[in-house]
Structure 1
């Protein structure tokens, strides 16, 4: 009987130890992932009957030099972090006098100190601008950046309706913004 009791106690202790060490349930703090430094964000609005949606990775300034630092001048930029920024129009639009059929497009930019090139590309699904090809461009627009006094810490997009027919997609980061105007067809 003593031997059976010792074996039974040994099995209980062994089971408890196994449960503690082998099947440890992590505490909530152990499973919590750190927040990404450039989270995916989206901006959208209705411009008349046209649903306009922008999806982008939103990095923060975090004390860095952004323009001609983190983001080089005169080079194609994915206009966000990680995957390329994309814009989806639910209806045909006109941009810079050119018809842009409804659909999803990559949004790329070529920043410069005094002028930027804003680009809509047929190719929207890529990491940064790694596979960017100019022959996929559907439209390019030259714009002057607008400078601001206050810093916008996280890269932010906004779809701004201007009545039922017109709108603009505004990108703002650090002390600068650029806008891509469009008109519903």
Structure 2
């Protein structure tokens, strides 16, 4: 009986000793994901608060490695090869570090993602993939929690912004989306293409202002396969106008206008009407 009581006491004591209370984190975890064309960047990081403290040059000392956030090291993942300020960033996951200074920061894309925080003595510069230099600038607003975001987004590029307190740095990313699209267009067109396949290829070329002759050939093929729609004719009119063939552009716009009216697509009615008036002045 005494032995059984002792066992129960030991189990109870062990549970009390090892049990932990789950509590809110002072620097909550966050994930940001951003598409750039057909590619995607994701960043996993923690968001410390300023709490009235001097941040850069104070809480985050100048000249020393910083984990770009709090808690674990910040991780950045790219699902295709990208370019960061003339440096190739291959598809994969990297730790993101910084060496802040008053007038210039070094941003580090590091291949070893196993370190806790900044790695301190375990951090080895030889494991850096590359470093880039960026200029910090003062913001007109106060950012309480450290923030990583993306802005100035196009099909081929975006700026990653790091903002905390009244300081911000921008790191430009770029990707060759056009090369990816050309591969995708070729793959789709050589594997049982439909009218929609040809239309989407043409629309991409038209939007990117590239290879209008090929775009027109794709649109004619789309119409031949039975794609007699207001949006096929509208894009065809834009391509013909870009080629300087305003007479044909007007005819295509009139066809798009006719179909748009029958379907009560008011926005397309207005766009076609405006283009017809404009193009009539040009031929």
Corresponding residue of 2:174: 183
**1:54-133 map, 5 Å:** 54-130=43-119, 131-133=122-124
TM-score with structure 2 length normalisation? 0.53
Q: CA deviation at 1:69?
A: 1.1
Is 2:159 the partner of 1:168? Answer: yes
Larger relative contact order, structure 1 or 2 (CA cutoff 8 Å, min sep 6):
1
Is 2:139 the partner of 1:148? Answer: yes
Q: CA deviation at 1:96?
A: 1.9
Matches of 2:123 and 2:38 in 1, distance apart?
31
Deviates more, 1:40-49 or 1:123-132: 123-132
Matches of 1:161 and 1:87 in 2, distance apart?
19
Q: CA deviation at 1:64?
A: 1.2
Gaps of 5+ in 1: 1-21, 23-30
Matches of 1:146 and 1:47 in 2, distance apart?
25
Q: Is this contact kept in 2: 1:167–1:183, CA < 8 A?
A: yes
Corresponding residue of 2:128: 137
Matches of 1:159 and 1:133 in 2, distance apart?
29
More strand by percentage: 1
Matches of 2:151 and 2:112 in 1, distance apart?
24
Q: CA deviation at 1:161?
A: 5.1
TM-score with structure 1 length normalisation? 0.79
**Deviation per residue, 1:35-63 (Å, 9 max, x gap):** 21101111111001111101101100011
The DSSP-based 3-state class of the residue aligned with 2:143 is strand
The DSSP-based 3-state class of the residue aligned with 2:174 is strand
Q: CA deviation at 1:111?
A: 0.4
Aligned length: 156
The structure with more radius of gyration: 2
Matches of 1:141 and 1:175 in 2, distance apart?
22
More helix by percentage: 2
Deviates more, 1:161-170 or 1:108-117: 161-170
Q: CA deviation at 1:100?
A: 1.3
Gaps of 5+ in 2: 1-11, 13-19, 177-283
Matches of 1:72 and 1:96 in 2, distance apart?
25
Matches of 1:102 and 1:161 in 2, distance apart?
22
**Deviation per residue, 1:112-152 (Å, 9 max, x gap):** 00111111011123211123211111121111102012210
